[in-house]
Every structure is written in C-alpha cells, then in structure tokens.
Amino acid sequence: MKKNALRLLLAAALFFAGIAVAQRPVQNIEASRHPNLATAQKLTAEAYDKISLAQQANHNDMGGHAQKAKNLLVQVNNELKLAAEWANKNHK
C-alpha cells in the first residue's frame, strides 16, 4: 500500500514538474543557414499555440494529453536546435 501511494505521489510530482517547465517553443534557428529546420521550429511553436487554445476551449479538461503534447513539442524544438548546431559545427 505504501509503495503504491509513493508511486502515485512521484508520478504526480513529475507530471506537475513537466507543466511548470514547459514553455512555448522558441524560434532560434538561423533561417538563412537552415531554412527547413527554422520552418519546422516555427511550426512547433504554432502547434503549441493551437494546443493552448484547445486547452482553453476545453477548460484544460483533456486528461493531461494536451499538456503532454505541448511538452513533446518543446522537446522537438530543442532537438531541432541541436540539429542545426550540429550541422553548423560539422558541415560548414
């Protein structure tokens, strides 16, 4: 019983930490060097905004799935930036 309660508490803490950390994806890829990556990054920000609107329209009652999608978009955005930085260092 104590194990299950501890697991539930840990899961809730991780969930709420993810909500607090997730911020709108930034657009910080130089479009002149990496136009496709910059466009992809712009689209992640737009998708994030659309999910935020959906959350507002549904009073944030989306079972946590919309927030999880937003968290994943932040991760995608970060990976796009890393891809651009890697290309900068290794190809040009």
- pLDDT per residue over 41-89, tens digit each? 999 999 999 999 999 999 988 999 999 999 999 999 999 999 999 999 9
The set of residues, in sequence order, having a beta carbon less than 8 Å from that of 47 and lying 6+ positions away, is 73
- Alpha-carbon distance of 92 to 83, in angstroms, equals 13
In the DSSP assignment, the letter for residue 31 is: T
Domain of residue 43 covers: 2-91
pLDDT tens per residue across span 2-36? 677 767 666 776 666 555 556 888 889 999 999 99
* CA 75 to centroid of chain Cα atoms: 5
Query: Based on the structure, what is the number of domains in the chain?
Result: 1
Residues counted in the chain:
92
Q: In Å, how far are 22, 23, 60 from 29, measured between CA atoms? A: 19, 17, 31
pTM higher than 0.95 for the full model? Answer: no
